[in-house]
Amino acid sequence: MKLLILAFCVVFVFGGLSAQTTVWQPTQGHTQISIWPGAAPDPQPVAGPEVAETTGKDSLVAAKPWIAVSNVSQPTMTVYSPTKKSTGAAVVVFPGGGYQILAIDLEGTEVCDWLTSRGITCVLLKYRVTDVGPYPKSGPYPESPMALEDAQRAVGLVRFHAAEWHIDPHKIGVLGFSAGGHLVAAMSTHFEKRLYPAVDAADKVSCRPDFAVAIYPGHLSLSAAEWDAQQGAKKFIVPHSATADANLTLNPEVPVSSQTPPTFLLQNEDDHIDSVYDSLAYYIALEKAGVPVELHSYAQGGHAFGLRRTKLPVTAWPQLVETWLRTIKIISE
């Protein structure tokens, strides 16, 4: 049910698409790398070829359009090297879009511009997504394994190529927005075993992130209806107080443990797409497991603002992440 609601909201928030091109391409000087040497595992049919569309005037963020990529069936990653002295750290970025599209610049390339200016290697993952329609759609694991398979493969590839790309293999993190924020949590809790058979040596190295940043993440808590459904088999009436607290129950498909990496969470209370309860439920579970976690919650700011600055305090969040990365000793300057 949550995914259906989110799908509607993606159309609303990410609506108003206009000019379109074909397959998304990074700026000159950067090359997309196919993450799979052959066919990707668990392929699903898509409604058509990959399309990159620029939003119209009714879907601007900070008065600027953004690019939505849909029908991604050939996942890639693009490596952006630091533009100043390297810290040795690397971040794999997961754009959001309800597991149906990817906000490839708003929550992707613009993030890489920020990270590389801070001496951090950025790896932008274009993971598989399919739009709603007559075809099987992508979604959060385990509803669909595709995005998590791509994420596991990408983090493993970055660690495998760490020496070649001048990266410290113990300073590789993940950062994502909305559905990409859920993918951050999925990667943080599903790293001990690949979802797919190993295809080469890169799948033999660990895909556990060393740190994680989830910005307005979704799919992390149970709604009251979902909580009630789980209790239904027990044949008793659920007290009102228990139902009221259901939103703070962690989604059981995100099995937090003491091995979950240190995590930074950011959420707005007026975000009506990914509720603040998603971040709160995840925060509580991390804290109970003894995982270092930092949560920032703001009263205003809504959803899907990326790094674009407005007058609202929440849009200064990148500075908070930089400070946090220093406290957990990922960067030193």
Q: What is the 3-state secondary structure (H, E, C) of 58-124?
A: CCCECCECCEEEECECCCEEEEECCCCCCCCCEEEEECCCCCCEEECHHHHHHHHHHHHCCCCEEEE
108: which 2 tokens? 């992707």
Question: How far is the CA of 287 from the CAs of 196, 279, 323, in angstroms?
Answer: 30, 12, 20
| Residues, the chain | 333
126 forms bridges with which residues in the sheet?
76
| Helix (H/G/I), strand (E/B), else coil: 224 | helix
Residues 275-298 have a mean pLDDT of 97
| Three-state SS at 268 | strand
| CA–centroid distance for 198 within its chain | 23
For residue 319, being part of any structural domain is answered with yes
Instruction: Specify whether the CB–CB gap between 275 and 297 falls below 8 A.
Output: no
Asked, for residue 269, whether it belongs to a domain, the answer is yes
332 belongs to a structural domain: no
The yes-or-no verdict on residue 136 having pLDDT over 80 is no
Once rounded to an integer, what is the mean pLDDT over residues 64-82?
96
Q: Is the pLDDT of residue 22 over 50?
A: yes
Q: Is 172 helix (H, G, I), strand (E, B) or coil?
A: strand
Residue 113: its pLDDT value, please? Answer: 97
Domain of 104, in residue numbers: 2-327
Q: Is residue 24 domain-resident?
A: yes
Is 71 within a domain? yes
In contact, 283 and 293? CB cutoff 8 Å = yes
* CA 297/CA 216 separation, integer angstroms: 10
Q: Please tell me the least confidently modeled range out of 66-75, 122-131, 154-163, 216-225.
A: 216-225
Whole-model pTM: value is 0.90
Structure tokens at 176: 């994502």
The 10s digit of each residue's pLDDT in 227-268 is 666 665 444 344 444 444 667 899 999 999 999 999 999 999
pLDDT of residue 46: 86
Least confident of 19-28, 157-166, 243-252: 243-252
Are the C-beta atoms of 135 and 141 separated by less than 8 Å?
no
Mean pLDDT of 109-136: 90
Please check whether residue 257 lies inside any domain of the structure: yes
Could you tell me what percent of the chain has a pLDDT over 90? 78
Here the contacts of 24-29 (C-beta below 8 Å, separation 24 or greater) are 24/50, 24/52, 24/67, 24/69, 24/104, 24/126, 26/78, 26/109, 26/124, 27/109
* Number of structural domains the chain divides into: 1
> CB under 8 Å to 98, separation ≥6 — which residues?
3, 6, 7, 9, 10, 14, 178, 179
Asked if the structure places residue 213 within a domain, the reply is: yes
pLDDT at residue number 77: 98
Highest mean pLDDT, choosing among 40-54, 104-118, 210-224: 104-118
Query: Looking at the domain assignment, is residue 333 inside a domain?
Result: no
If you average pLDDT over residues 172-188, what whole number do you get? 98
More confident residue, 9 or 228: 228
Encoding tokens for residue 13? Answer: 């928030």
Chain CA centroid to CA 245, Å: 26
pLDDT band at 89 (very low <50, low <70, confident <90, very high): very high
Which pair of structure tokens corresponds to residue 231?
A: 């209790």
Q: In 3D, which of 61, 44, 54 has the Cα closest to residue 22?
A: 54
Q: List the beta strands (DSSP E) in 221-280.
A: 263-268
CATH of the domain at 248: 3.40.50.1820
Which of the four pLDDT bands, split at 50, 70 and 90, describes residue 224? Answer: low
